[in-house]
Amino acid sequence: MRNQIEFIVYGDYALFTDPLMKLGGEKLTTQIPSYGALKGIVESIYWKPSIIWVIDEIRVMNQIRMESKGIRPIDFGGGNTLANYTYLRDVAYQVRAHFVFNEQRKDLEADFNEFKHHNIAKRCVNAGGRRDIFLGTRECQAYVEPCVFGEGIGHYDEVGELHFGTMFHGISYPDETGHGVMATRLWQPVMKNGVIHFVHPEECTLVRPIRKMETKNFQLNENMQSVEELYEEIFQGGGD
C-alpha cells in the first residue's frame, strides 16, 4: 500500500485504560491496544496536521499477560490516595499503518507532498520516533524499531480466532471529520492467528457524540513548518 510504514513497538509495561474503569479511580488495561492508542504512537513517530494516519493491522507478538500494582496517585485535593492499576506485561506489537492527506484541511494543500512525507516518516521510524513513545499512559515507556510485518515468531500464530467483545476504537475529532463534534467510537475486534485488522474510523457503527469542538487553526510558516523545510532540515542538515 502507498505511504505505508511497518515497525515494532515494545516495552516492559502497557496500560490501555478501559474507559469503564476510569470512573472508579483505578485503572484496568484492555487486552489489546485500541486504534486510537496505536494512532497516537504513530503520531509520536511523525505527524503533521496535513496528514491522517490510518492503522491497518497489528500483530501481537507476546503472550497477553497482566500484572497489578499498588499505586499512590496524587489526589486532586492534595496528598496521595491508594489505587490498584492493572498493566499488560512485556508487550510487543508489529504495526502496519499508512497516511492519507487530510481533505478537511484545504488550507494546508500546499503541504500535500506525498513523497517527502513518506520519506520523513520512514526516517523517523528508523530513528525511533520524533517524540517519546508510550504504550497507553505516560509511565509506560516504549521503543520503536523498523521491521517487516509478519516476520518472526508470534505467540498467537497458530491459535485461530480470539474475540474481545465490544471495545473502544478511538475518538473522532472535527479537524479530521469536518463535523464540529468530538465523538467516541466502539467496535468488536477479532484476532486471527495473532493479527488484528482494524476497521477504518468511518466504518465504525457504534458512535456516540461527546461535545462540540472547533477545529484547531494551523498556518504554514506561522505555527506550522512546511514539509519542504522539514525535509531539507532532516535530509540535508543530517537531522533525525
What does pLDDT average to over the chain? 91
Q: Read off the pLDDT band of 95 (50, 70, 90).
A: very high
- 42 pLDDT higher than 70: yes
Residues with Cβ within 8 Å of residue 1, at least 6 apart in sequence: 56, 98
Nearest to 226 by CA among 61, 105, 49: 49
The mean-pLDDT minimum among 31-45, 165-179, 224-238 falls in 224-238
Mean pLDDT of 52-80: 90
Tell me the per-residue pLDDT of 112-144, one tens digit each, with 9 for 90 and over. Answer: 999 999 999 999 999 999 999 999 999 999 999
Instruction: Read off the C-alpha cell for 103.
Output: 481533505
- 75 pLDDT higher than 80: no
Cα angle 199-205-207, degrees, rounded to a multiple of 5? 105
What pLDDT score was predicted for residue 207? 94
Residue 180 · residue 214 · CB < 8 Å: yes
Pairing mode of beta strands 161-163, 167-172: unpaired
What pLDDT score was predicted for residue 23? 67
Q: Alpha helix locations (H) across 131-231?
A: 174-177, 227-231
**Domains (ranges, CATH) in the chain?**
4-236 (3.30.70.2660)
What pLDDT score was predicted for residue 24? 66
What pLDDT score was predicted for residue 7? 98
More confident residue, 182 or 74: 182
What pLDDT score was predicted for residue 221? 73
- 188 pLDDT higher than 70: yes
Tell me the per-residue pLDDT of 205-218, one tens digit each, with 9 for 90 and over. Answer: 999 999 998 888 88
What pLDDT score was predicted for residue 239? 59
